[in-house]
Amino acid sequence: MEMAELLKLEDNLTAMGANELYTYATEKYPDVPNMGMGKKKLVVRRILNHERNKMNKEESTD
């Protein structure tokens, strides 16, 4: 995932409603407990940080 994709993901997540965002977070990241819990802004940050960390790990292994 590149930065442009992260920005697009942020826009998509921000456009979602709270229930839709919770469902997205729990279905997409079942291995991360409480990913969809909390205020909408916090959930969006958690998802973006998770994706950014995953992206950094992939870059460091290359």
Q: What pLDDT band is residue 6 in, cutting at 50, 70 and 90?
A: very high
Taking only the tens place, the pLDDT of each residue in 15-48 is 999 999 999 999 999 999 899 999 999 999 999 9
- The count of other CB atoms within 10 Å of the CB of residue 21 is 19
> Do the beta carbons of residue 13 and residue 51 sit within 8 Å?
no
User: CA separation (Å) from 1 to 29, 32, 61?
Assistant: 16, 19, 14
Q: Is the dihedral of CA 41, 42, 45, 46 positive or negative?
A: negative
In this prediction, residue 59 has a pLDDT band, given cuts at 50, 70 and 90, of: confident
pTM for this structure?
Answer: 0.89
pLDDT for 27: 95
- Looking at residue 20, its pLDDT comes to 96
CA distance 40 to 26: 13
